[in-house]
Structure 1
Amino acid sequence: MTRRAHLDVRGRTAVITGAASGMGAEVARRMAARGAHVALVDRNAEGLESVARDLRGRGHSTHTVDLTSDDAVIAMVDEITSHHPRVQSLVTCAGSSMLGGVDQLTMAEMRWLMDVNLWGTVNITQALLPALLREPAAHITHLVSIYGLAAPAGRIPYAMSKYAVRGFTEALRHELEQTSVTVGAIYPAGVKTGIILHGRYAAAVDPAVAARAAAAQAAMYRTEPGDAGEKIVEATIRRRARTMIGREARLVDVLSRLAPSHYWAVMRRPLKEAVDTTTPVG
């Protein structure tokens, strides 16, 4: 198999983070349906077991872990590789959100989100890389976000974390270009998962205001998790470097390149309610 050939996932293992729900769960189902063994990773043990019961085939495993813990991730990767000697792909879907303006957020709140979205991604990627390099062809897929293309007001920690994941992904792709491992980034726009509705908000934000902003953001989502999961699996199998999910992602990608200093003038109006974390409710 050449470096750029598509992956044959049958009998190989895909490690998927954030696999207890949302896009991660959909990726797991679709990988298993193609004959892959799936290692499901999440903090939510109950959710992992529920997804595992739905998977086709055998040879799947569940791993409950906090990806921000270095020691826990190293131990988990040892566990995965002892059960799955042919780890061919890693798909990082784990992440969270944080609402609030810079004057509402604490440093601890911003560091928490960076730990989850950035360092959790870096942690498992670094720990699993030796196993991936043993395969004649392997691929790493990192979920970034439309907010890794353009940074809106009211989402500073989320945008920071996603721009950082984008930078990590692109640098890693270049670092591994002479190896058997390829690296790709996924840029979803509005996918109908619970990330924004169940995400965190700054303690200084009125809970009713946060709920209104989250609902306004969620109302803009158009893509079903299953459709997103299918595109992520295809991007992984085809070893794509860059994949947009949703019309809005493609538009923002073009907009941010055509008007890198002025794209917010276009985005401000449709996102007005979604980024408002100060106006009282009622």
Structure 2
Amino acid sequence: MQIKDCVAVLTGAGSGIGRALAVALARSGCHLALVDLNPDSLAETATQARALGARVSEHPTDVSDRSAVAALPSAVVAEHGSVDLLINNAGVALGGTFDQVSEENFDWLMSINFDAVVTLCRAFLPLLRQRPEARIVNISSLFGLITPAGQTAYCASKFAVRGFSNALRLELTNTNVGVTVVHPGGVATAIATSARSPDSESDAEKQRKLARANRLLRMPPPKAAQIILRGIERNKPRVIVGNDARILSWLERLMPVNYWRLLPGLADSDA
């Protein structure tokens, strides 16, 4: 896919992988409709992208709000005229076993990590179909490939993104719209710091889990963004980001039930 002069809608653009992707896309000549819940961090990302010559619009939006998402396509078209690329990057984390996680928190995570992906695809697919070449990029996770204890909700959402993306790709075969699903490993973002935890956990336990999770988050976001961008340009159906994700994905294929016996350090992780 030729990125130069494309228009990309990018959610979760205010920080982490989203901000790094915005900068990488802008550097490649892509114009941006940036979406994030936090208007201040969104504005900072937009400033960085504009400094690289991109035409940028800012759309402070709660992606779990279906009416707000439904209004996005017309707002983006008013600014840019068309859409070539949709990158569903917005996501949140939630630690705790299934018994510990409240129904409210479980639904909150699913509404952002999975439901919003579906809603955004539904909203923008008609615009993407109008372009000569277009692509949907859905960010799953390493935890859309493997299933650590203590991550029931997060794994459910990221496996759902994976399954939805793979099926949608097949449905769009022989059309102008491709689908890429991305599985980042340990990227150094603030997702663990901002994750919700069960109310029953002590502060000491929360800090212990946070420290362990952060030890696993090592890849700089700009490096992750470059890997994802190369995958988009090459029309790859799946992008694995990081050696940790690559190794663990192969291990899961070889030992789909018993691989956790070799990975006790990852059990109950909040990454």
Same-fold status (TM-score > 0.5): yes
Question: More helix by proportion, 1 or 2?
Answer: 2
Asked if 1 retains the 8 angstrom alpha-carbon contact of 2:151 and 2:268, the reply is: no
Counterpart of 2:172 in structure 1 is 176
By how many angstroms is 1:92 displaced? 1.3
Aligned residue among 9, 23, 29 for 1:29: 23
By how many angstroms is 1:120 displaced? 1.2
Structure 2: any 5+ residue segments left out of the alignment?
none
For residues 125 and 214 of structure 1, what CA distance do their matches in structure 2 show? 32
Asked if 2 retains the 8 angstrom alpha-carbon contact of 1:30 and 1:230, the reply is: yes
Asked if 2 retains the 8 angstrom alpha-carbon contact of 1:189 and 1:249, the reply is: yes
Q: TM-score, normalised by structure 1?
A: 0.92
Asked if 2 retains the 8 angstrom alpha-carbon contact of 1:105 and 1:204, the reply is: no
Equivalent positions of 1:1-282 (< 5 A) are 7-55=1-49, 56-267=52-263, 269-272=264-267, 274=269
3-state SS of paired residue (1:40): strand
3-state SS of paired residue (1:87): coil
3-state SS of paired residue (2:240): strand
Q: Which residue type is aligned with residue 52 of structure 1?
A: A
For residues 155 and 267 of structure 2, what CA distance do their matches in structure 1 show? 17
By how many angstroms is 1:262 displaced? 1.0
- Deviation digits for residues 204-258 of structure 1 (CA, Å, limit 9, x no counterpart): 2223312210220111222110100111111112211011111111111111111
Q: Which residue type is aligned with residue 15 of structure 2?
A: S
Task: Choose 233-242 or 93-102, whichever is displaced more.
Answer: 233-242
Asked if 1 retains the 8 angstrom alpha-carbon contact of 2:30 and 2:54, the reply is: no
Asked if 2 retains the 8 angstrom alpha-carbon contact of 1:81 and 1:87, the reply is: yes
Counterpart of 1:3 in structure 2 is none
For residues 157 and 210 of structure 1, what CA distance do their matches in structure 2 show? 17
Change (3 A) 1:133 1:191: same
State the identity as a percent: 35
Q: TM-score, normalised by structure 2?
A: 0.96
Asked if 1 retains the 8 angstrom alpha-carbon contact of 2:110 and 2:153, the reply is: yes
By how many angstroms is 1:76 displaced? 1.6
For residues 166 and 199 of structure 1, what CA distance do their matches in structure 2 show? 21
Aligned CA RMSD, in angstroms, stands at 1.2
For residues 36 and 179 of structure 1, what CA distance do their matches in structure 2 show? 22
For residues 199 and 9 of structure 2, what CA distance do their matches in structure 1 show? 34
Task: Choose 206-215 or 95-104, whichever is displaced more.
Answer: 206-215
For residues 256 and 163 of structure 1, what CA distance do their matches in structure 2 show? 14
Q: Which residue type is aligned with residue 260 of structure 2?
A: W
For residues 233 and 113 of structure 2, what CA distance do their matches in structure 1 show? 24
3-state SS of paired residue (1:201): coil
- Deviation digits for residues 244-276 of structure 1 (CA, Å, limit 9, x no counterpart): 111111111111111111112122x2224736x
By how many angstroms is 1:40 displaced? 0.5
Asked if 2 retains the 8 angstrom alpha-carbon contact of 1:216 and 1:273, the reply is: no
Structure 1: any 5+ residue segments left out of the alignment?
1-6, 276-282
For residues 97 and 267 of structure 2, what CA distance do their matches in structure 1 show? 13
Q: Which residue type is aligned with residue 29 of structure 2?
A: G
For residues 230 and 244 of structure 1, what CA distance do their matches in structure 2 show? 12
By how many angstroms is 1:136 displaced? 0.8
| Residue-pair matches, total | 268
Asked if 1 retains the 8 angstrom alpha-carbon contact of 2:92 and 2:191, the reply is: yes
3-state SS of paired residue (1:219): helix
Q: Which residue type is aligned with residue 271 of structure 1?
A: L
